[in-house]
Amino acid sequence: MAKKNYSLLADNLIKEHTLYSVGSGFIPVIGLDVMANAAIQLELTRKLCNLYHLKFEEAQLRALLNALVGSTAARIYATGTKSLLKLIPGVGTMVGGVVVGLYAAASTYASGEVFKMHIENGGTLKDFDARSMQKYYKLK
């Protein structure tokens, strides 16, 4: 399969998982929405590795995602504060779901694009430097 086709398939995976992340924002249980989005990002990264025929270990993927997106504790704190909007009955639930969903989607899209860019430039998971890739993550 040509490199262009891989890129198109990767774009489709990123879009699909970005939409899933929007949906994770509407999970009513505070904290569960963050864990769901972390799982979505992990699955996206796993599928990108499979698409590009890269070997991976799940622990390695988790470590790379945490290093790129931020520590799990920081992510829970940042998203958790947004999730508190969900405690306000009615409008708060909807606004909180939208805010958390958009934040989650942006994070998923950016992490997917960064991994895709790294892989398409000949990188592997072993030479992925999350610190240097964070600038691209923030730009996406």
- Give dist(CA 103, CA 37) in Å, integer: 10
pLDDT of 73: 45
pLDDT of 116: 95
73 or 23: whose pLDDT is higher? 23
pLDDT of 80: 56
What pLDDT digit, counting tens, does each position of 2-57 carry?
Answer: 566 899 999 999 999 999 999 998 888 777 888 899 899 999 999 999 999 998 88
- Give dist(CA 113, CA 26) in Å, integer: 24
Q: How many CB atoms lie within 10 A of CB 81?
A: 11
Q: Specify the pTM.
A: 0.82
Under 8 Å between Cβ of 83 and 31 = yes
pLDDT of 72: 47
What pLDDT digit, counting tens, does each position of 92-130 carry?
Answer: 677 777 888 888 899 899 999 999 999 999 998 888 888
pLDDT of 49: 93
